[in-house]
Amino acid sequence: MAEDPTRTKAPKARAIPPAPRSARQLDQIVLSTLKAGLPYSAYEITRMAAQQGSPLSAMQAYRVLVRLIHRGQVMRIETLNAYALAPEQGSGFVVCRRCRTARTIVLPDREPDMRALCGTVGFSLSTMVVEASGLCAPCLGTLK
């Protein structure tokens, strides 16, 4: 049956947008996702937040991550292009390049040495991130 051209279509119902959330609420959504202890990409964070009933856009996730990094609550793991809760001061990450797991390690205090070294070339150190990549014990065991 042909559609009547004189008949007007009913307007589509619009979804009611969610109430705006504060920066603090958005921070809590991201921090609660990262409390699982694993590093996640920004897109994984948005997917997990949506599964928990708190959807975020990728742009919101990136803004929140920048804010949390600035506050020292989150660190970016460059090797994985992912984010994790910041370890305590004087810690770093070891990252398995095969299974992509990351673990926190406690380091001896090398910051004074690094500051002095940077000073010799006229550079002022603001932050120091230690990240090592290799193979974890389980992955190393599968190669034997």
CA distances from 93 to 51, 71, 75 (A): 28, 19, 10
| Residue carrying the six token digits 């897109």 | 43
CB 26 within 8 A of CB 60: yes
- Asked if residue 33 has pLDDT above 80, the reply is yes
Q: Domains in the chain and their CATH numbers?
A: 21-86 (1.10.10.10), 89-144 (3.30.1490.190)
Residue 68: Cβ within 10 Å count? 20
Taking the model in full, what pTM does it have? 0.72
Q: How confident is the model at residue 51 (pLDDT cuts 50, 70, 90)?
A: very high
The SS3 of residue 41 is coil
CA distance 15 to 78: 38
| pLDDT, greater one: 112 or 32 | 32
What is the rounded average pLDDT of the residues 38-51? 92
Q: Quick one: pLDDT at residue 5?
A: 59
